[in-house]
Amino acid sequence: MDFGLTEEQQIYRRVAREFAERELAPRAGAVEERGEFPWDNIRLLAEEGYFGMAVSPQYGGLGLNALTSAIILEEICRCCCNTGAILQGTMVCAHLLEKYGSEQIKLKYLVPVTSGQSIAAFAATEPQSGSDLTSHTTSAIDDGSDYVINGRKAFIGNALEAHFVVVLARTPSRSGRPSFSWIAVDRQAQGLSIGRREKTLGIRALSVAEIAFRNVRTPKSNIVGSEGEGLAILSSGLHWGNIFLMTEVIGVAQAALEASISYAKERRSLGVPIAQHQAVQFMVSDMATELEMCRLLAYKAASHYDQGLPFEKYATMLKIAAPDMAMRLTNKAIQIHGAAGYCQDFPVERLMRQARLYSIGEGTSEMHRQALARLLFREGV
Amino acid sequence: MEQIIVCIKQVPDFSKVPDVPIDPKKGTIRREGIPSILNPPDKNALEEALRLRDSGGGIVTCITMGPPQARAVLQDALVMGADRAVLVSGPALAGADTLSTSYVLAAAIRRLSPFDLVICGRETADSGTGHIAPSLAEWLDLPQITCVRKIEIHGRLLWAQRTIEDGYQEIEGPLPMVLSVTREINQPRPLRLRGVAEAMKKVITTYSPAGLGLEPKNLGLAGSPTQVPRLFPPRPRQEAQVFSGSAAEAVEALVARLRELRAI
Amino acid sequence: MSAPARLAADHRGVWVFAEQREGVLQPVSLELTGLGRRLADQLNTPLEVVLLGDGVGDLAEELIACGADRVLLGEHPLLRDYQTDCYTRVLAGLILGRGPEIVLIGSTSNGRDLAPRLSTRLRTGLMADCIDFEVDPASRILTGIKPVAGSGLLASIICPQHRPQIVTARPGVLPRPASDPSRKGEVRRPDIELGDTDARTRLLRTVRDSTGGARLDDAPVVVAAGQGVGCEENLCLLEQLAEVLGAALGATRPVVDAGWLPESAQIGQSGKSVRPRLYIACGVHGASFHTVGMQNSDVIVAINDDPQAPIFKIATLGVVGDLREIVPLLTDRLKHAGLI
């Protein structure tokens, strides 16, 4: 088992880091504070090919594997979580399209993503049910050559800027058991409306809003995968997406750790830099150790995915561990900064606010703990 | 243009680590664990070579003398668009001063002939001597122009603007030639994601000193006329007299003291 | 590069390469003549100054007044302006012919073009940008002292076996020697053999920058902007202070990188070295990269809001506070009190 990154991965990391530090980092604080979609950043990412990095060159992407893509995404989020979150939301949709979509739908929706023209949102969560899929009510009725979609999706990231939405809807069941399907819908489709933008705790430039579907027609050819495959796709797609979602919070935590180390070397109390105080030393050590543990778990999950090995368990473990780690870490980061940590002049308060999302988004930690427990009791460790 | 050779170097990233640990025995910077980058003026040198190639044809070859980890700067150069990269490496090369370094680089450059132009960054962030370009020119018996901030090529004639203390000179000379360039000369293109896949297809060749036919006595510490016997901290200075109180009071006291010292 | 056959012991004499431009002696050449005098006295050997040019014989007087025992005046039309090939050829020829043990060259743009080429041709060591020198009369080894990049430490550097020991020093680092017109010295005119084909590059023309504001190199007072200035807009506060003092504006590397001031204003390791009477560092952190370029100033004033900033370690006087408040107050105080 080679824990080293390949030369190619190291190069990608350097390139992404240089890009992020030069273009994204200087504006990151302002982007968060203004809470507006960072069009400049996103255009740059689109031009440079970041949106299609994990997509096959056949569809205009760079064809990078999950591990390399995760490394790149971490570098983006280390400098600007907002930009990374917007990127990841689109990447998940692109992944679903590439893996499960027909050639027709790939041409229609995937190619515009890789060429940097489209932003996407995936819509699974509903106002009354997040993790509890069986109580979802959004439906897609078969009407000849179209589906007609009715329902409401809530807390959808990229809702305001998405060019298309990939929606999870109930489709008619032949077996009597609930049947779900993923369907791509143009943002401009008649009957699709975006609700009020949520004012969130953090990652404020990422738009989060309800999407309402009132008799929205979409061609049946827009289905992603087969009818009834929705939950299976959700499960596998979500695991893939989780690796990247957690990579975001790892990037955020990395930024908080670096800020803490740098601050501790400069800030003095009792005649010495606080880096010489044992309390600070212990905090920084724990922060770095936990962060590395989560990063390794992320690398393992991605690496297993790339090798075609079962990876879901590791992705789930990662989804459980990383958000809590990031909350502990960013919390300590603020403490190390003292009063300054509570002020917006320093990055750590926004890093903690940003980190808070990750035990909730794309499946709560509780849901994942349940899922992991089921797996463990079924299969052993 | 057939070939432009760019000499590049991996240096510590002083912007990230302002105070670098020193190896007291060798008097050199202790590099392990310190983030390293491509020497910024070398990026300008590479950028200029790429521009000349983009408009005039030929290939750009980057060369560096360094330990194996110096491959990273060659990779970055390939991502930027260089066509080929050469690493000259070997344990015997360690500790070389600029005479020995330029001697080795010249031998490698000769191996890469024919070429039209050798471009170096004006100086390195770590040693900052600016010796390499003139030394290389001497070993290669070629004309040189240092501190160049603008280049034009007309056939086999190179025209350059050379920065001097209070202005610039316009100088011309025949190719092949050795140049050192300043940071004013251009804005280096960024490393781009799409450049990586291209770079991975390109070759990094390694030359060893033995492979170049170089004698050990001319290499590394052994081949360096200059030595650094010791390092020491500067003489402690008298503590500064710091004026306190309100801003107005402090300024008042400062002006008074400056008067006393006859500084104003 | 094993030591050449001729023993180090056979080399005698301290040389200075004096640089002239358009018939004007460069100040660093006089500074080095002063140093050369001291070294020559310690080594009990003559100090010879090499001056190349065309019709520059009148400059020899000043070199002798500053300490030269002998001026080697190499004159030829092709030496009128500095040209790499001709100057290297002539100087190398003179050195090989006469065997000095030490050669001092000013680290000007031309000096930095010449010295490495020359030392390579002679297969000898070059100790560049030294800020101080010591010589051991017994071993006749010259030790150069130079700062080690980014560490705040100094290194001693020697060239124990190879000869000559070639050394460069930056302008403004060494003190200017006293000029004694009564000093006696000799002027020799060695034969210079140069042909048109010797010069491979051609100087077409020289263009001077329009001088707006006091020149940094010679300015008696310098006001320096560091990163703490914060933004380009705040520079005007320093410009006003500089105007009242008749000072030149200098900058640290981060300020130049940010584009607030041009590269010609940069002071430090990869910029200029200055030794003004008064140096006022505003918002300058004091990293060694910068301080190596100004630490020999007579009086250094540091204005910074961080009492732990390293600049206070080398400053003579300091004020801890917001420069946006302090600098205008200082400007005002100086304006109204009138300057001596």
pLDDT at B18 (0 to 100): 62
What's the pLDDT score for residue C340? 41
Looking at the domain A7-118, which fold is it? Butyryl-Coa Dehydrogenase, subunit A; domain 1 (1.10.540)
Q: Are strands C165-169 and C102-106 parallel, antiparallel or unpaired?
A: parallel
User: Which residue would you say has higher pLDDT here, B10 or C264?
Assistant: B10
Higher pLDDT, C53 or C152: C53
Q: What is the pLDDT of residue C154?
A: 86
Mutate to test the interface with A, among B19, B36, B193, B201 (most CBs of A within 10 A): B193
Cβ separation of A11 and B192 shorter than 8 Å?
no
Residue B246 scores a pLDDT above 80 = yes
Which residue is associated with the tokens 């979500």?
A238
How far does Cα A354 stand from its chain's mean position?
12
User: Which of chain C's residues have a Cβ under 8 Å away from the Cβ of B27?
Assistant: 148, 155
Q: How many CB atoms lie within 10 A of CB A214?
A: 13
Q: How far does the CA of residue C32 sit from the closest CA of chain B (Å)?
A: 18
Residue C144 has pLDDT above 50, yes or no: yes
Measured CA to CA in angstroms, residue B255 lies from A59, B14, C234, C297 at distances of 70, 36, 22, 18
Cβ-based contacts of B10 with chain A (< 8 Å): none
Q: What is the pLDDT of residue C338?
A: 62
Q: Which of A77, A61, A87, A97 is nearest to A19 (CA)?
A: A77
Considering only CB atoms, which chain B residues are within 8 Å of C301? 254, 258
Token pair listed for C322: 């917001």
Instruction: Tell whether the model's pLDDT for residue B15 goes beyond 80.
Output: no
Tell me, what's the pLDDT at C210? 66
Let me know: does B202 contact B77? Beta carbons within 8 Å.
no
* pLDDT score, position C7: 60
Nearest to C160 by CA among B96, B232, B228, B218: B228
pLDDT of residue C215: 76
* Greatest extent of chain A over all pairs of C-alpha atoms, in Å: 78
The domain limits of chain A are 7-118, 121-228, 231-379
Phi then psi for residue B227, to 5 deg, are -135, 160
Q: What average pLDDT score do residues C263-275 get?
A: 85
Helix (H, G, I), strand (E, B) or coil at A18: helix
φ, ψ (nearest 5 deg) of residue B135: -65, -45
Q: Residue C300: which pLDDT band, with cuts at 50, 70 and 90?
A: very high
Pick the catalytic residue: A126, A227, A349, A362?
A362
HEC-encoded secondary structure of A91-106? HHHHHHHHHHCCHHHH
8 Å CB contact of C270 and B128: yes
In the predicted structure, residue C92 carries a pLDDT above the cut 70: yes
By CB atoms closer than 10 A (0-12, 13-18, 19+), residue C10 is exposed
> Poorest-confidence range of B133-147, C98-112, C148-162, C278-292?
C148-162
Question: Which residue reads 């680089």 in tokens?
Answer: B105
Q: Is A338 exposed, middle or buried (0-12, 13-18, 19+ CB in 10 A)?
A: middle
Q: Tell me the shortest Cα–Cα distance from B202 to chain C, in angstroms.
A: 32
Q: For residue B71, what pLDDT is reported? A: 96
Query: Which comes out higher in pLDDT, residue A157 or B236?
Result: A157
Cis peptide leading into B114, omega within 30 of 0?
Answer: yes
Of C157, C317, C326, the CB nearest to B228: C157
- Indicate yes or no: CB of C325 within 8 angstroms of CB of B258: no
Q: Which tokens belong to C271?
A: 């910029």
What is the structure's pLDDT at A362?
A: 87
Structure tokens at A44: 């740059």
pLDDT (mean) for B234-262: 88
- Segment B141-163 shows an average pLDDT of 97
Please report residues of C whose CB lies closer than 8 A to that of B227: 157-160
What is A121-228's CATH number?
2.40.110.10
Chains with ≥3 Cβ pairs under 8 A against C? B
For residue C215, which residues of chain B lie inside 8 Å, CB to CB? Answer: 166
Q: CA nearest C227: which of C319, C304, C307, C325? A: C304
ipTM for this prediction: 0.91
Is the CB of residue B210 less than 8 Å away from at least one CB of chain C? Answer: no
- Whether residue A258 lies within 8 A of chain B, CB to CB, comes out as no
| Average pLDDT of the segment spanning B83-106 | 93
Question: Taking CA atoms, what residue in B is nearest to A51?
Answer: B193
CA distance B252 to B243: 9
**Which ranges of chain A have pLDDT less than 70?**
none
Q: Strands, DSSP E only, in C198-243?
A: 202-208, 221-225
Answer yes or no: do B226 and C109 touch at CB < 8 A. no
Residues of B with CB under 8 A from a CB of A: 71-72, 75-76, 79, 190-197, 199-200
Q: Residue C203 carries which DSSP code? A: E
Give tens-digit pLDDT for C221-267: 999 999 999 999 999 999 999 999 989 999 998 898 888 988 889 99
CATH architecture of A231-379: Up-down Bundle (1.20)
- Whole-number Å distance between alpha carbons of A212 and A195: 7
Q: Is B97 on the interface with C (CB under 8 A)?
A: yes
Place of tokens 């018939």: C23
**Distance (Å, whole) CA C98 – CA A337:** 66
Identify which of C62, C142, C161 has the alpha carbon closest to the alpha carbon of residue C104: C142
pLDDT of C5 = 46
**Nearest residue on chain B to A22, judged by CA atoms?**
B190
Active site residue A312: no
The residues near C215 (Cβ < 8 Å, ≥ 6 apart) are B166, C248
Tell me what pLDDT residue A338 has.
96
Pair C52, C31: CB distance under 8 Å: no
Phi, psi (rounded to 5 degrees) for B148: -80, 135
Do the Cβ atoms of B90 and B107 come closer than 8 Å?
A: no
In 3D space, the residue among C317, C318, C303, C226 whose CA is nearest the CA of residue C265 turns out to be C226
Q: Which residue has the higher pLDDT, C276 or B114?
A: B114
User: Which residues from chain B sit within 8 angstroms of residue C242, using beta carbons?
Assistant: none
Please report the pLDDT score of residue C211 as a whole number. Answer: 57
